[in-house]
A and B are shown apart, each in its own frame.
Chain A
Amino acid sequence: MLKVENLVKKYGNATAVAGISFSIEKGEIVGFLGPNGAGKSTTMNIITGYLSSNVGNVYIDGDEILEKPESAKKKIGYLPEQPPLYMEMTVGEYLNFVYELRGCNLPRKEHLDEVCSVVKIKDVQNRVIRNLSKGYKQRVGIASALIGNPPLIILDEPTIGLDPKQIIEVRNLIRALGKNHTVILSTHILSEAQAVCDRMIIIDHGRIIADGKTEEINKFIVDNRRYKVTVSGPQNEVLSILKKLPGVLHCEPLAERDGDAASFAIESQSGVDIRKAMFYALAERNYPILGLEAIGASLEDVFISLIDKEGV
């Protein structure tokens, strides 16, 4: 479906993308993961033909993006980081404009109705885009990427700036899209990629540092055991008890307090479950545990473990 070969993009002396290659099969949902400034948006802009790379090729279903731009671009629906909306138009006018712009020849009314019901914007058809909330604007942007039913959909940070409810809706929407489309989305939130994607491509400083199925990438993550524990009792004493537990790598107090309870972040060596030992040690001193939760790994943790693994 999509084949990217050795992309290099330089801005003056700065290298934004340093030789990225990958290919994506039909029907995959791929997460493009990396910190801000890793080259995610640049890569997406090259794939969609907005920017040109200095070196390398992009093939959309066999069509090179610069050699056959029109047929290649027809196969891509793209939502850039900032949805490209004309603020003075109504939602209906805008979608009709995109329909014509993309040279779409599906039956117009049925197709636009279908797209609108997929992203749930039917009720705002006649409103001017300027007056819509951020969440609705994002959905109108996604709708415009769906027009013409392109087989490849590319979404750049689709959930950024949305409230939690909207984030869940957009994630569900992406999963639904994955049934009939190939989807690439970029994000810097690991849990988002874990929740939605079949496969993750992790990039940093313009190159790919990991590429694999979500389960494979997850293996790097579960190795790390970190908890947040809330204990009722004097902070210093509890801290010293926790630190003495066998297998604890480090433990630090957190800023939050709840009455006489203090919270701590505690991390254990891999393969050691400290939870039971922690319970008995604290129970012995009559310091009840009020809360215990596992802290999910963040993107930074994955980076650290990946980079350690590579030995860079």
Chain B
Amino acid sequence: MFAIYKRELRSYFSSAIGYAFVAILIAMSAAVFSVTTLLSYTNDISTYFTVMLFILMVTLPMLTMKLFAEERKLKTEQLLLTSPVSIGGMVFAKFLAAFTVFFVTNLLCSVSYLSLFAYSEPEGGIILGNIIAITLVGAAFIAIGMFVSSLTENQLAAAIGTFFFLLVMLAIGMLNSFIPWYPVRFVLDWFSLLSRYTNFTNGFFDFSALFYYISVCFVFLFVTCRVYERRRYGA
């Protein structure tokens, strides 16, 4: 399992995709941060985090698109699936690799907050809460992206598919409150990645949301494993 993790990490940085992801995310976050806080003469970071959510929607599929689609196309998955490694282990190793790249980049982006302390007294707790929240949302996005990648051989289809999947999930969250029927609203609420996120940006550390994002990760990683199990039966 550790071998797969190491190989994935290396493969991000033996092609342009890893560098592109890191560069784009850092550049975008710095730009957004300057506009929403420094240039707006405020130390309120809620706008920054909301915008970052959308930036992650576009950039994280870059990390997840190839994870399974490429292996399937080049048939290298035959090596992994005939090795003494479980499907769960393989999926989790790939998840960890993408998460590691995201996590480290996210930490680098977080350097921006230091500039706020230079001219004001922002709430450290809120900032920390938001960093944790965005990390968890990112993890959920990665799990979803992996699921979409496991469905196709085409990396571009995986990236675009993931983007729309996330977009639909966010849209459901926004439109959900207009549905008059409670049971439907209750079910659809599960897909709503956004509604829970706003609690964090408003400075409210929500443990139930924490568990929500972790469970989204597990559900999609589990479904990805199932995709592989089913494919083995040629269904």
Contact = CB atoms under 8 A, between A and B. Distances in A.
A51 B232 contact: yes
B78 A50 contact: yes
A288 interface: no
Contacts of B74: 84, 86-87
Interface string B72-93: 0011111111111110000000
Given A10-B234, A50-B232, A97-B3, A84 B86 contact: no
Given A52-B232, A84-B76, A84-B78, A100 B2 contact: yes
B226 interface: no
Contacts of A86: 7, 11, 74, 76
Given A86-B7, A88-B14, A101-B3, A73 B234 contact: no
Contact of A98 (B2, B79, B232): B79
Interface string A28-46: 0000000000000000010
A70 B87 CA distance: 11
A73 B3 contact: no
Nearest to A16: B234
Contacts of B6: 97, 100
Given A97-B7, A100-B6, A101-B4, A84 B84 contact: no
Interface size bracket, B side: 20 to 34
B82 A76 contact: yes
A51 B84 contact: no
B233 interface: yes
Contacts of B40: none
- From B76, B84, B233, name the one whose CB has the most chain A CB atoms within 10 angstroms: B84
Interface in A83-100: 84-89, 93, 97-98, 100
Interface residues of A, number: 33
B97 to A, nearest CB: 13
A199 interface: no
A82 B84 contact: no
A33 to B, nearest CB: 22
Nearest to B229: A52
A45 B6 CA distance: 26
A84 B77 contact: yes
Nearest to B1: A101
A84 B75 contact: yes
